[in-house]
Amino acid sequence: MRIVCLLSVAGFLAFSSMPAQAQLPFFSLVQRPKKPEPTRTVIYKTIGDVKLTMDLFEPEGHTPQNNRPAIVFFFGGGWAKGSPSQFHAQAKYLASRGMFAGCADYRVSSRHNTRGDKCVTDAKSAVRWLRKNADQLGIDPKRIAAGGGSAGGHIAACTALINGYDEQGESEEISSRPDALVLFNPAVVLASVGGEVPFPEKVKTMLDARLGTEGKNLSPYHHVKKGLPPTIIFHGKNDFVVPYLTVEMFSTAMRKAGNHCELNGFDGQGHGFFNYGRGDGSAYNKTVATMDTFLTDLEFLPERKKSAE
């Protein structure tokens, strides 16, 4: 276990996600449509001279009078880089199913000289912004999901599991906690577990420096408790950046605490397998279809109409 977790941290620190190209699900790669563009882009947060934007994908005919469920996605890139466009395809698909979807930018080290703790703060701001503006956006403040991949999956999980790290000046009376989690190869174990999986001091120092705080403070696994939002995880079993063992540990802890947590493992798949443009596209289509089922079961999406036999 020590070797596996060491690979997890060392690999994750070095990894930068490849932004996904866009595709509506269930199209072949040869017939992929043009990269989807958001309905509009808004500024959801301003810190000094930094303006953080969110690309919005609204269902056809959407108005502020609607009361739709919503989701916000966060890109991967090791808290260092990345683009909101990584999840444009998933957002476009969910909008086509009647859900309000956003892809948020957040501060990263390459562009803003920040650390992982600020990434978590921005993710919380994004969820809070959606809930605060629910009436103007036409969304249901009690049905807001958070999703993301790799580091983006980590900060999405942190919005639900980690207390604190709220932006100074934001009203904590408006919750920054989502009502569901959709996580793609997320980093959820960022510290030693019961002393049985110790990290070498060099790696621990690197991780703490990248996060801007002690790893345990932002390690979702270490903050699992009863009453967390329903969660679905997609993870490649051959992921050597964020090893499959770590999400197994997290999922087991979630279920033991009485939470709903679905783990979907994909044989032979590595990190970022879910992105459009990887392989023959089947993993992308499968994850989107399974995400659809999960959100339908939660009544975030309507039941699909059965085709006539």
In three-state secondary structure terms, 256 is: helix
- In this structure, what token pair is assigned to residue 53? 């934007």
Q: What is the pTM of this model?
A: 0.89
Q: Whole-angstrom Cα distance, residue 218 to residue 230? A: 20
Kindly list the domain boundaries of the chain, sorted by start residue. Answer: 2-297
In three-state secondary structure terms, 68 is: strand
CB neighbours of residue 212 within 10 Å: 17
User: Helices 88-96 and 282-297, interaxial angle, to 10°?
Assistant: 50
Task: Answer whether residue 229 shows pLDDT above 50.
Answer: yes
Task: Answer whether residue 120 shows pLDDT above 60.
Answer: yes
The pLDDT of residue 200 is 52
The pLDDT of residue 255 is 98
Task: Answer whether residue 289 shows pLDDT above 60.
Answer: yes
Of 138, 219, 142, 139, which Cα lies nearest the Cα of 180? Answer: 142
Phi, psi dihedrals of residue 249, rounded to the nearest 5°:
-60, -45
Per the prediction, the chain carries an average pLDDT of 88
Structural contact between residues 104 and 74, judged by C-beta atoms closer than 8 angstroms: yes
Class of domain 2-297: alpha beta
CB neighbours of residue 51 within 10 Å: 11
Q: Exposed, middle or buried, 53 (CB in 10 Å: 0-12/13-18/19+)?
A: middle
Confidence of residue 60 (pLDDT cuts 50, 70, 90): very high
pLDDT in tens, 249-278: 999 999 999 999 999 999 999 999 999 878
Q: Is the dihedral of CA 279, 270, 296, 129 positive or negative?
A: negative
Alpha helices in 133-276 (DSSP H): 134-137, 151-161, 201-211, 244-256
pLDDT in tens, 8-39: 455 555 444 333 333 334 434 434 545 689 99
